[in-house]
Structure 1
Amino acid sequence: MIKSIKGKMVLFQGMMLVVVLSVLLILFLSGAQGYYYHSKMKLMNQAFNRLHEKDLEKLKDGDSKIVNFEEQKLRFVIADENFRQIYVSANGKGKGAVIDGRSAKAKIKGGIIDKVNRFDEDEFKTVNCKRRIKGRGIIKQGNHKYYVYIYEIKTTKNILFSYYAIFFTIVVLIAAAIGMIVSMIIANRISKPIKQIELNTRLAVKNGYNVKIDENQEFKELSGLAESINTMVIQIRNQIEILEEEIARKEQAENIQKQFVNNVSHEMKTPLAIISTQVEMIQYLNDEEKREEYCKSIIEETENMSQMINDMISIFSVQYENENLTVENENVSDVVRKICGEYKKLFDSNHIVLREEYDIDTYAQINGKLLKQAVSNYVSNAIKHSDEKSQVTVRVLDLNETVRVEVENMGKHIDESYKDKIWDIFYSGDANETLNGQKGSGLGLYLVKSIAKLHNAEYGFENTDNGVIFYITLKKVQKRDQKQLN
């Protein structure tokens, strides 16, 4: 069974061509003979009427009126009432075409004498015989009457139609062959670009959907098909890229979680070991000052563990929020002002001066809870890294298209080599020390980075003349705008 478009088109067009030509052949064979007979009979009637105009007694060999009809394959046998030869056509025409003698008498006998009962004085009768068309009639001129027998050349009709049938059959076969060739050419012109589109589609699948199909096709339908396939390929490629990014993100998250668990296990062991050791030592110490020192150390390690646990919970919360972050238009200055208010007592207890600077128009689309965690990390780090009687400055700046939150302390500068490392999870400097010599979990700045990325915000630090500035830069919006990020 033929399944290709090209094969079916060739077969269908060939069959249609054969059917059409066969119908024409049937119509020709069924109608052409009738038309031929009618034309010959009409011609014989014309010849008979022309003989009426001639003086048959004076009819001569080579008469132009007779010759004209003889050229159209008619032959004449004319005799008077006594069956005397007046004119008998031979196989030729023109002068010398008239015959006499025994051959002429035979034609008169066979065509007139033996069929005299078939002549009618009132009309010229034509007969369509099996092998030829014949006509008989009587012409009266003066006191004489003339028998006129007109017939077409023997077997002319049969030979003619045999040639017609053979010729038409050959025409049908040639036309069918030409039609098949033309059909194959047309089918090939249609199927070739389809085959090319199929090949390009396979290549697109094989090469990661990076092949574009030519849309400039000869046929409008194929151009539309190529355009649709290109659109589909682009969409598939985009979906694949999204899936690859999602898979990479999931793998990264899994790796981070594994690293997180391993690091947490390691980080927890140290303070737990310290606490366990110091608790055991307390019961053997009689020195009150030493006992108080150990108790403070236990409290400090407990607070560090508590902070680490809180940071871990916050990180898991941020990872959850990454799936669906809901934001609202809020005045960043108001959020930061509340944070500073909560840390006021901590600033006072550490004898550190807090300075606040707020611009008025500082609206951004934020998740207030998460931004509060990020800024709180900056503020607590600034306190931890500041000496007594130093100053920490918190600013919220309107920078036309962005809103920038800055926390500046008067601590030591951060080496540029740490520029990227300090944002990594569990990175807290050499020997689990922060950059200014204080202990840290290494989770705070990683949490800030995660929150900033969720808000599509910029983050970082800058060394200044007096210390270090940590910042987050958010895109500014109008107060009336509302939006939810997914």
Structure 2
Amino acid sequence: MHLAEQMTDFDNIDDCENELTDFSAETNATFWIEDSNGYIIYPNEASTETSTVSADQTVTFDEDASFIDMQPSGTTTTNFYPITLKNGTTYTLAVQTDLYVVQQATKVLLSILPYVILMVFLLALLCAWLYTWYITRPIVQLSRISKQMAELNFSGQCNTSREDELGCLAQNLNSLSASLSTALNDLQTANRQLKTDIEKEQALEQQRVEFFSAASHELKTPLTILKGHLAGMLNGVSGYENHTEYMERSIAVVDRMEKLVKELLYVSKADGTQKCEYKTVDIAEVFRVQIATVTDLLEKKKQSLEANIPDRLYCEVEQVQMERAIQNILVNAIRYSPSGELIRISLSEIYGTIRGEIENTGVHVSDDAIPHLFEAFYRADASRNRNTGGTGLGLYIVRKIMEMHHAKYGISNTSNGVLFWFELPCKQPIDNFI
């Protein structure tokens, strides 16, 4: 078709010889040109009876017969193309193509077709597997992470490098995991705190029950005694004729009951939410004042006192409460020490901490009893019974006051007796800086 278009630019066939030669070399095909009557005009007899169409092929033309390849190699096909020269003359270009090469190529293709199909099938399987792995791998990972989340394990994280819907789902799953992990941790912390609070409340409730049970027991005994005295005197029971003596005994029982009731009222206030006013006081002066209040008790038991107290030593305390704690410790030390023993008191300041010590000699407390000394109505020695005149609440009140001041405190045995100690932070008064 391209040759036919080129020949429209020429007036006769002879002028197209170069194009025809080039066509023969390029296509390696047998061709000829017929006029309108069907006669072959190219190649013609004037040139030769034989025409070399190609380097390796010689063709002989017969004017009365169609052009035939003298040595056909296989089935051929002939196509005809109309040509109109520049001068208007029409011709027909016939091109005869040998199909042997095509047949050989087709035969080769048919022989290798099963192998090609097999390779294509295997390649398709490989591509399908790779594509499936690429698509399902993040889905499998998401499924694994979601299963861990269902088991309340939020340690796994999804790969968020993808930007498609699976990547968005992975990011959302990571955010959900982080939120659930935080919420679960907060819930566990709250549960632990709630459990601690419940246990603490239960312990406090148990302590209240035990306290009021002990208080009832402590009040029951003097009430029974008092009731017996009054009933004996009213009914004229033998032995109760001396009303004055039993009235005095009854007064003593009432005094003890009054003292116990006051201690109970103080404890109830200490367990409440009463407002405390903390201020800077001279703790050394507080000790000296309380020592003066127990002088009569010391003389009564013929005990001596050794005090090592500085002139001034300041700390921030609730003065009334601290005075009561020190008084209870002093009275307790004097009551539970034998007559003629020594009471040692020391107060010092070391590295910003005030340490107070009160030691009563001549007595020891069993190691098993020391942890219970600050419990309400606890008595380490049953032989003491109630002859000391105590209510069993002295050290319990001391414990409450020390806890109120966030102070360190304790009781321990020494080589000579029993030592009570406490520690408070020291505070420099403002007057010293003026």
- TM-score, scaled to structure 1: 0.58
1:243-392 aligned within 5 A: 243-281=194-232, 291=243, 293-321=245-273, 331-340=282-291, 343=294, 355-359=306-310, 362=313, 364=315, 366-386=317-337, 391-392=342-343
Aligned-residue offset at 1:449 = 2.8
2:394 aligned partner: 444
The answer to whether the 8 A contact 2:280-2:317 is kept is yes
Matches within 5 A, 1:447-486: 447-464=397-414, 466-474=416-424, 476-479=425-428
| 1:397 has 2:358 as partner | no
Contact 1:377–1:445 (8 Å) recurs in 2: yes
Cα distance change of structure 1 residues 264 and 111 upon mapping to structure 2, 3 Å threshold: same
Deviation for aligned residue 1:294: 3.2
CA distance in 2, matches of 1:340, 1:77: 148
Correspondences of 1:66-145 after superposition (within 5 Å): 66-67=27-28, 79-80=34-35, 84=39, 138-140=84-86
Instruction: Measure how far apart 1:254 and its partner are.
Output: 1.1
| Cα offset, 1:279, TM superposition | 3.2
Distance 2:84 2:194 in 1: 105
One-letter amino acid of the structure 2 residue matched with residue 238 of structure 1: T
8 A Cα contact 2:343 2:361, kept in partner: yes
> Which digits, 9 at most, give the CA deviation of each residue in 1:448-479, with x for residues without a partner?
234434544333323445543222233x2554
More relative contact order, 1 or 2 (CA 8 Å, 6+ apart) = 1
Q: Distance in 1 between matches of 2:354 and 2:223?
A: 42
CA contact (8 A) 1:81 1:147 kept: yes
Q: Distance in 2 between matches of 1:228 and 1:318?
A: 44
Q: Which residue, 9, 25, 29 being the options, matches 1:64?
A: 25
| Counterpart amino acid of residue 447 in structure 1 | I
Q: Give the Cα separation in 2 of the matches to 1:197 and 1:77.
A: 84
Return the alpha-carbon distance in structure 2 between the equivalents of residues 94 and 237 of structure 1. Answer: 96
| Contact 1:361–1:398 (CA under 8 A) maintained in structure 2 | no
Q: Is the 8 A contact 1:318 1:450 kept in 2?
A: yes
Q: Encode CA deviations 1:92-126: one digit per residue, 9 max, x unaligned.
A: x998899996799xx99x955xxx6xxxxxxxxxx
Shift of residue 252, structure 1, vs aligned partner: 0.9
Q: Deviations over 1:147-195 (max 9, x none)?
A: 5699x9xxxxxxxxxxxxxxxxx99999788544421112223442343
CA distance in 2, matches of 1:184, 1:97: 66
2:378 equivalent among 388, 413, 427: 427
1:458 alignment partner AA: K
Contact 1:278 1:298 in 2 (8 A): yes
Deviation at 1:426? 1.9
Matches within 5 A, 1:198-217: 198-201=150-153, 213-214=154-155
Tell me, which stretches of 5 or more residues in structure 2 are unaligned?
44-53, 69-76, 98-120, 162-170
Structure 1 distance, partners of 2:9, 2:311, is 128
- Residue type at the aligned position of 1:462: S
Q: Of the candidates 112, 118, 139, which is equivalent to residue 187 of structure 1? A: 139
Deviation at 1:445, TM superposition (A): 1.8
Q: 1:428 deviation in Å?
A: 2.1
How much has 1:314 moved relative to structure 2? 2.9
In the comparison of the two structures, how many residue pairs are matched?
Answer: 375
Secondary structure at the aligned position of 1:313 is classed as helix
Relative to structure 1, the CA distance from residue 398 to residue 94 in structure 2 (aligned partners, 3 Å threshold; closer, same or farther) is farther
Alignment gaps of 5+ in structure 1: 1-43, 88-92, 117-136, 153-169, 202-212, 482-486
Cα distance, 1:400 vs structure 2: 2.5
Residues 241, 311 of structure 1: CA spacing in aligned structure 2 closer, same or farther, 3 A cutoff? farther
Task: Please state whether the residue corresponding to 1:266 is helix, strand or coil.
Answer: helix
User: Radius of gyration: which is bigger?
Assistant: 2
Contact 2:285/2:312 (<8 A) preserved = no
Contact 2:158 2:174 in 1 (8 A): yes
Question: Larger % of helix: which?
Answer: 1
Report the AA paired with residue 331 of structure 2: S
Once the 2 structures are TM-superposed, how far is the Cα of residue 406 of structure 1 from its aligned partner?
2.1
Match for 1:472: what amino acid? F
> What SS class does the counterpart of residue 271 from structure 2 fall into?
helix
Distance 1:179 1:387, change over 3 A: closer
Distance 1:325 1:51 in 2: 124
Identity across matched positions, percent? 21
- Aligned to 1:239, which of 183, 190, 199? 190
* Contact 1:77-1:111 within 8 A present in 2 as well: no
Identify if the C-alpha distance between structure 1 residues 418 and 82 changes in structure 2 by more than 3 Å, giving closer, same or farther. Answer: same
- Summarize the Cα distance change of 1:431–1:463 in structure 2 as closer, same or farther, 3 Å threshold: closer
In 2: Cα distance, 1:103 partner to 1:316 partner = 136
Compared CA separation, residues 65 and 392, structure 1 to 2 (3 A):
same
Displacement of 1:378 after TM fit?
0.8
Q: Deviations over 1:387-438 (max 9, x none)?
A: 6676544332223353222223345333334222333322124558359x52
How far residue 358 of structure 1 moved from its aligned partner, in angstroms, is: 2.7
- SS of corresponding position for 1:416: coil
Counterpart-to-counterpart distance in 2, 1:245 and 1:457:
23
Matched letter for residue 364 of structure 2 = H
Query: Per the alignment, do residues 184 and 47 of structure 1 end up closer, same or farther by CA in structure 2, a change over 3 Å counting?
Result: farther
